[in-house]
Structure 1
Amino acid sequence: MSASAIAKLQDPPERISRNGVLKTTIVVERRKVQVGDRQLYATTYNGSYMPPTLRVRPGDRIDLTMANRVDENTNLHTHGLHVSPRAPADDTFIAIKYNKSYRYSYKMSINQPVGTYWYHSHADIMSAAQVAGGESGIIIVDSLQHYLPPSLHHITEHTIALKDFQVQGDSIKTHDLDISAPTHRTVNGQHNPVVNIRPGETQLWRLANIGANIYYKLHLPGIRFHVIAQDGIPVSKIYAQDTIVIDAGARFDVLVQGGDPGTTRLETLPYNTGTGGDSFPQADLATVVTRGVPMTPAVVPTDFVPHEDLSKAAVADRKYVTYTENAAGDNFFVNGRMYDPRRTDFTSTLGTVEEWTIRNKSDEQHTFHIHTNDFQLMSVNGKPYDATHGWYDTVNILAKGEIVIRIRFTDFTGRTVLHCHILQHEDLGLMAVLDILPPSGKTGQ
Structure 2
Amino acid sequence: MPRATSVRPFSLYASLVVLALAGCANHSENEPVSQPLRKNPEFSYDASGVTHATLTAAEQQVNVGNERYVSLVFNGDYDSPLIRTRPGGTMAIRLDNRMDEITNLHFHGMQVSPLDTGDNIFRITRPHQVGEYNVKLPMAHSPGAYWYHSHFHGGSQRQVSAGIAGPILVDGMLDPFPELKGIKEQVLVLRNFQKTLTGKVASEIITSAPSIRTVNGQEVPTIDIKPGETQLWHFINIAANQYFRIRINGQTMQILSRDGNTVTRRVDDDEVLIGPSARFSVLVVGPPAGSYNIESGDADTGPAGDSYPAARLAILRSSGQPVATRQITSAYPPAEDFSKQAVNKTRQFVFQDSATDSSAFLINGTRFELDRVNTTVKLGDVEEWRLLNPSQELHQFHIHQVDFQVTEINGKPVQFSGYRDNVFIPATGSITVRIPFRDPVILGKFVYHCHILEHEDGGMMQAIQVVRPVNYEQAVKLEPLGGLYGENNQLCTYLRNTGQDPKTSSPLVPSAK
The Cα shift of 1:102 comes to 1.1
- Compared with structure 1, are the counterparts of its residues 181 and 169 closer, same or farther at alpha carbon in structure 2 (3 Å cutoff)? closer
1:256-295 alignment, distance < 5 Å: 256-295=284-323
Match of 2:95 among 41, 66, 79: 66
* CA offsets 1:281-301 (integer angstroms, 9 cap, x no match): 000000111111001222344
The Cα shift of 1:437 comes to 1.1
In structure 2, the residue matched to 1:342 is 371
RMSD: 1.7
The Cα shift of 1:311 comes to 1.6
The Cα shift of 1:52 comes to 1.1
In structure 1, the residue matched to 2:390 is 361
Alignment partner of 2:175: what SS? helix
Aligned equivalents of 2:435 and 2:236: distance in 1?
A: 23
The Cα shift of 1:303 comes to 4.0
Contact 1:166 1:172 in 2 (8 A): no
Aligned equivalents of 2:155 and 2:463: distance in 1?
A: 17
In structure 1, the residue matched to 2:428 is 400
1:39-54 alignment, distance < 5 Å: 39-54=68-83
Determine what percentage of the aligned residue pairs are the same residue. Answer: 37
1:21-420 alignment, distance < 5 Å: 21-150=50-179, 152-301=180-329, 303-327=331-355, 329-389=358-418, 391-409=419-437, 410-411=439-440, 412-420=442-450
Contact 2:69 2:201 in 1 (8 A): no
Contact 1:41 1:170 in 2 (8 A): no
Give the AA of the match of 1:164: N
In structure 1, the residue matched to 2:451 is 421
Aligned equivalents of 2:32 and 2:102: distance in 1?
A: 43
- Compared with structure 1, are the counterparts of its residues 146 and 176 closer, same or farther at alpha carbon in structure 2 (3 Å cutoff)? same
Aligned pair count?
443
Alignment partner of 1:147: what SS? coil
Matched, 1:5 2:33: yes
Aligned equivalents of 1:134 and 1:199: distance in 2?
A: 35
Aligned equivalents of 2:39 and 2:317: distance in 1?
A: 17
The Cα shift of 1:47 comes to 1.1
* CA offsets 1:42-70 (integer angstroms, 9 cap, x no match): 11111111111010110011111111111
Alignment partner of 2:83: what SS? strand
* CA offsets 1:296-350 (integer angstroms, 9 cap, x no match): 2223448422112112223111111101112453210000000111111111011
Contact 1:238 1:301 in 2 (8 A): no
Aligned equivalents of 2:33 and 2:176: distance in 1?
A: 37
Alignment partner of 1:5: what SS? coil
Give the AA of the match of 1:353: V
Aligned equivalents of 1:52 and 1:132: distance in 2?
A: 16
Matched, 1:435 2:449: no
TM-score, with length taken from structure 1: 0.96
The Cα shift of 1:173 comes to 3.2
Contact 1:367 1:422 in 2 (8 A): yes
TM-score, with length taken from structure 2: 0.84
* CA offsets 1:355-389 (integer angstroms, 9 cap, x no match): 11110110001110000111111111111112123
Aligned equivalents of 2:371 and 2:202: distance in 1?
A: 26
Contact 2:195 2:209 in 1 (8 A): no
Structure 2 unmatched ranges of 5 or more: 1-26, 476-483, 486-513
Which protein is bigger by CA-based radius of gyration? 2
In structure 1, the residue matched to 2:479 is none
Aligned equivalents of 1:74 and 1:174: distance in 2?
A: 17
Contact 1:121 1:127 in 2 (8 A): yes
Structure 1 unmatched ranges of 5 or more: none
Aligned equivalents of 1:431 and 1:204: distance in 2?
A: 34
